[in-house]
Amino acid sequence: MTRSRAMLDRTDTNGVAHLRMNAPDRLNALSDAMLAALHGALDDIADDTAVRAVILSGAGKAFCAGHDLKEMQAGRAADDGGAAYFADLFDRCAALMLRIQSIPQPVIAMPHGIATAAGCQLVATCDMAVAAQGTRFGVNGVNIGLFCSTPMVALTRNIGRKAAFEMLTTGRFIDTDEALHLGLINRAVPHDDLAATTQGLAETVAGKLAKAVRIGKQAFYAQAQMDTADAYAYAAQVMVTNMMERDTDEGITAFLEKRAPDWPNG
């Protein structure tokens, strides 16, 4: 099944929703329209029990070049010089990033070409990432006098602080080998294998008990904000909730009986 928005295509296959940003002439920049399309699609997916994993990619020669600078500069024409527009823009971008992590389905970024500034933020925000070899990543706003403060939030929650600070203050790009080493991406594969590898990973996730994955994703991000003792106390309660699920009982019983579990798809 394929659905299309003005700047976003959605194709569903085997429980996986593939969202492809479709503004290649603007390097899939996060324009106002793109932000709205992505957020709307994620809202739809969050309530779609047939979808158990999501892939996010970009059409053309790049994954995403960050915010639309031409659109941002046009915002300066307002009486306040654009202050209100910029505040609203960055709030909407933050809301999108939070939505990626709040929907119950895991989201896998599939970057190629370049992923810069807010585009790199997208990669860092997604639950996993599989990149085409040769992809370049950067939070390079400092090169034009705009420190990537909002991309910094996602980046510093993915990689070490010193590496993140160097990227932010020098505008230096990193390649897939370094991105893999730093933990920004999960895998780097030849471009010709990118779609199949990412789809395979998504289908592996989609094949698990959806209830368990939903419970786990929510818990993953919640415990990350707690100190260790609180995290263990919270995670123990999550485990109790998970254990009380009828389908979890079926999964454990099936394992002990050496058979496949009889699970629903949703």
Rounded Cα–Cα distance for residues 168 and 151 (Å): 9
Transcribe 166-216 into DSSP letters: HHHHH---B-HHHHHHHTS-SEEE-GGGHHHHHHHHHHHHHTS-HHHHHHH
Question: Picking from 3-17, 53-67, 111-125, 204-218, which range would have the lowest pLDDT averaged per residue?
Answer: 3-17
Residues of the chain with pLDDT > 70, as a percent, come to 97
Average pLDDT rounded to a whole number, residues 43-59 = 97
| pLDDT at 264 (0 to 100) | 81
**What are the chain's domains?**
2-206 (3.90.226.10), 210-256 (1.10.12)
Read off the pTM: 0.95
| pLDDT at 4 (0 to 100) | 55
